[in-house]
């Protein structure tokens, strides 16, 4: 059972590291700080509750069952941190939030003190690592201590369930998905962990033996609830950057036709080969390199090619935007061929701004790369295909016609 509990502790701990990856920023935001505190305390609860940890703590202190008040006190601190998190999450006037936080901490501080006092007054000389709740369910003072920690934890989880249900109706997107995961984890904690504990303890009061609910059912249910709650905490914070990196990887791949065309004339430094670079960084480097190549190719733009392809595309029933992209792709292919062949620039007058340079981000470049894959772009370059890449980069005239 220790492995199951330690796994839950690891999940909680990894979550706290991910949420607290920027300590200076987190310390200035009460919501982030309280979230990290709640998740970290949850991890400590599972570490303390593992039978291997309980045995070690008992041996080190020389007090049988000393791990019990330590675990229950830590669980009460976690319950308090959950309520503080909900208070900060709800927000409101600073004085009101501070007052509610202090009251919550005071209430659970008294609960922890009561747990310690009751344990000191109880007669619990027999060490129990897995079934302490049911073994001492009818023992004076131990009985009250067990009920206190369960009631304190139940209050926090029920409040969390109510808040998640309420806020889930008011928000959407990833935040709603995170709240639903937290709600599912809290419900699993209430029904799978607490209810089974209550049932096993009450059964002991009436002379029945349902200890398996407390020893075999409750721990894995609590671990699964911890995993779900952790996923709910991190989903709204970590999924957006993950999706951004995935989109960056897709855009980097879709820019390949355009990059293959303009790479021979690019004068920007090559990107250092590093496997650890994130997709967004690779995409940014490719964008900069492509824009540099477009600057080099600007003097080679033949507006007669562009106008001819545009008119043909419009006659074929394409939209003005599609016709413009097809014309620019054909003009760019013709310019790349001229630059690589070291031909003289055409005598076209006036500057021209590509659509890809008018829109922010990689979207315009992706549209241009897609237009290059269409037959019209290659067929309209009147002077044949682009020759192979020369040994060194080709630099065009210094004047620039592309922003």
pLDDT value of residue 92: 80
Token readout for 245 is 């990196």
Long-range contact pairs involving 197-202 (C-beta distance under 8 Å, separation at least 24): 197/133, 197/150, 198/150, 200/133, 200/134, 200/137, 201/133, 201/134, 201/137, 201/146, 201/147, 201/150
> Is residue 384 one of the residues assigned to a domain?
no
pTM above 0.85, yes or no: no
Q: Which residues does 383 contact at the CB level (< 8 Å), separation at least 6?
A: 334, 337, 338
pLDDT value of residue 383: 42
Given a contact cutoff of 8 angstroms between Cβ atoms, the answer to whether 334 and 305 are in contact is yes
pLDDT value of residue 359: 83
pLDDT digits (tens, 9 = 90+) for 71-119: 999 999 989 988 898 888 777 888 998 999 999 999 999 999 999 999 9
Residue 36 has pLDDT above 60, yes or no: yes
- Note whether 185 and 226 are same-domain residues: yes
> Is residue 234 one of the residues assigned to a domain?
yes
pLDDT value of residue 241: 78
* Angle, CA 266 vertex, CA 356 and CA 382 arms, to 5°: 65
- Note whether 191 and 288 are same-domain residues: no
- Note whether 218 and 291 are same-domain residues: no
Residue 391 has pLDDT above 50, yes or no: no
Which is higher by pLDDT, 330 or 31?
330
> Is residue 402 one of the residues assigned to a domain?
no
Q: How confident is the model at residue 347 (pLDDT cuts 50, 70, 90)?
A: confident
Tell me how far apart the alpha carbons of residues 289 and 258 are, in angstroms, rounded to a whole number: 11
pLDDT digits (tens, 9 = 90+) for 273-293: 655 678 888 888 889 899 988
> Is residue 253 one of the residues assigned to a domain?
no
Given a contact cutoff of 8 angstroms between Cβ atoms, the answer to whether 184 and 229 are in contact is no
Residue 192 has pLDDT above 60, yes or no: yes
CATH (domain of 6): 1.20.1070
Which is higher by pLDDT, 22 or 365?
365
CA torsion, ordered 383, 388, 392, 394, to nearest 10 deg: 20
Smallest Cα–Cα separation from 296: which of 341, 251, 266? 266
- Note whether 231 and 368 are same-domain residues: no
> Is residue 87 one of the residues assigned to a domain?
yes
- Note whether 212 and 163 are same-domain residues: yes
Domain count, the chain: 2
pLDDT digits (tens, 9 = 90+) for 216-250: 999 889 888 888 887 887 777 777 877 888 898 89
- Note whether 296 and 235 are same-domain residues: no
> Is residue 254 one of the residues assigned to a domain?
no
pLDDT digits (tens, 9 = 90+) for 8-28: 667 666 766 666 555 555 556
Average pLDDT, the chain: 82
**Arithmetic mean of pLDDT, 174-191:** 90
Q: By percentage, how much of the chain surpasses pLDDT 70? A: 84
pLDDT digits (tens, 9 = 90+) for 290-343: 998 898 888 888 888 889 999 999 998 999 999 999 999 999 999 999 888 888
- Note whether 15 and 61 are same-domain residues: yes
What range defines the domain where residue 287 resides? 261-379
Smallest Cα–Cα separation from 149: which of 79, 60, 239? 79
pLDDT value of residue 23: 52
- Note whether 241 and 373 are same-domain residues: no
- Note whether 27 and 101 are same-domain residues: yes
> Is residue 385 one of the residues assigned to a domain?
no
pLDDT digits (tens, 9 = 90+) for 108-121: 999 999 999 999 99
- Note whether 296 and 364 are same-domain residues: yes
Q: How confident is the model at residue 210 (pLDDT cuts 50, 70, 90)?
A: very high
**Arithmetic mean of pLDDT, 343-367:** 82
pLDDT value of residue 187: 94
pLDDT value of residue 350: 65
- Note whether 103 and 229 are same-domain residues: yes
Q: How confident is the model at residue 197 (pLDDT cuts 50, 70, 90)?
A: very high
Q: How many helices (H) and strands (E) does the chain have?
A: 18, 0
- Note whether 95 and 44 are same-domain residues: yes
> Is residue 323 one of the residues assigned to a domain?
yes
pLDDT digits (tens, 9 = 90+) for 120-152: 999 988 999 888 999 999 999 999 999 999 999
- Furthest C-alpha separation in the chain: 102
């Amino acid at each position: 059972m220790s492995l199951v509990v330690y796994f839950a502790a690891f999940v909680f701990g990894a979550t706290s590291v991910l949420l607290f990856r920027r300590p200076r920023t987190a310390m200035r935001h009460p919501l982030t700080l309280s979230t990290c505190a709640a998740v970290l305390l949850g991890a400590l609860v599972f570490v303390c509750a593992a039978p291997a940890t309980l045995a070690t703590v008992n041996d080190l202190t020389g007090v049988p069952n000393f791990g019990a008040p330590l675990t229950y006190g830590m669980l009460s601190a976690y319950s308090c941190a959950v309520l503080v998190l909900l208070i900060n999450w709800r927000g409101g006037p600073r004085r009101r939030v501070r007052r509610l936080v202090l009251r919550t901490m005071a209430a659970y501080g008294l609960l922890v003190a009561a747990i310690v006092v009751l344990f000191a007054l109880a007669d619990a000389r027999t060490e129990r690592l897995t079934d302490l709740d049911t073994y001492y369910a009818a023992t004076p003072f131990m009985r009250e201590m067990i009920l206190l920690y369960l009631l304190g934890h139940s209050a926090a989880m029920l409040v969390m369930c109510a808040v998640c249900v309420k806020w889930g109706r008011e928000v959407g997107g990833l935040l709603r998905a995170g709240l639903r995961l937290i709600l599912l984890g809290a419900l699993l904690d209430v029904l799978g962990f607490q209810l089974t504990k209550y049932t096993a303890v009450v059964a002991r009061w009436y002379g029945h033996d349902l200890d398996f609910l407390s020893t075999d059912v409750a721990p894995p249910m609590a671990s699964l609830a911890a995993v779900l709650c952790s996923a709910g905490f991190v989903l709204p914070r970590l999924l957006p950057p993950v999706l951004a990196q995935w989109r960056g990887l897709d855009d980097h791949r879709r820019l390949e036709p355009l990059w293959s065309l303009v790479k021979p004339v690019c004068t920007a430094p090559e990107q250092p080969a590093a496997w650890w670079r994130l997709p967004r960084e690779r995409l940014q480097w490719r964008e900069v390199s492509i824009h540099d190549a477009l600057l080099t190719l600007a003097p080679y733009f033949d507006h007669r090619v562009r106008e001819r392809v545009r008119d043909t595309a419009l006659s074929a029933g394409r939209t003005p935007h599609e016709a413009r992209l097809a014309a620019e792709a054909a003009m760019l292919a013709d310019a790349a061929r001229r630059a690589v062949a070291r031909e003289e620039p055409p005598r076209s007058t006036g500057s021209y701004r590509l659509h890809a340079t008018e829109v922010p981000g990689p979207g315009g470049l992706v549209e241009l790369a897609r237009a290059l894959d269409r037959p019209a772009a290659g067929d309209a370059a009147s002077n044949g295909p682009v020759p192979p890449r020369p040994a060194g980069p080709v630099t065009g005239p210094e004047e620039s016609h592309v922003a």
